[in-house]
A = this chain, B = another copy of it.
């Protein structure tokens, strides 16, 4: 069963502080590229005789499958988080305060973790950890990095394709723009759906 591209869940012409050209290029080339690549990888894996395939072929293909899958999943979450300036609702804001000390402290950690990835690649993910039933800010330096057994509810893409067209090397300005464009209603919906709000 091939993987399909989801429609762009934000309006690329109305993401506060980012150009339509940047969003559309990001969606078509980087997200679309991951989905298309994943389908070809899946085909190759489907044709493999696992019992006789050399280990290095498996290591290569399974790693590339993980990169493409996570790139697909995280990009969908990233676009879904974009819109106009907003604030998290009371319930989620309380949960952030409970798990990080204060909402401001959460924001400060999330922003700084993004800025620390400037000039390289990676993600910052606000995740719900099912083991500890709490919110965690997760750092990633490539698509493969992910908190085990967690549900990410907000994703900040720090790959340079997320900002260079608009911001050049000014990764810090991009992180600030992102924080001013988070569509918190979607974040809360996800947080509620996984039962984390209880």
Contact = CB atoms under 8 A, between A and B. Distances in A.
Interface residues of A, number: 74
A148 B112 contact: no
A138 B66 CA distance: 7
Contact of A56 (B68, B112, B137): B68
Contacts of A197: none
B50 A112 contact: yes
Contact of A53 (B30, B73, B112): B112
A7 interface: no
Which label, helix, strand, loop or mixed, suits the secondary structure of the A interface? helix
A185 interface: no
A151 interface: yes
B152 A148 contact: yes
A147 B146 contact: yes
Contact of A61 (B60, B105, B159): B60
A50 B148 contact: no
A57 interface: yes
Contact of A164 (B60, B108, B161): B161
B68 A41 contact: no
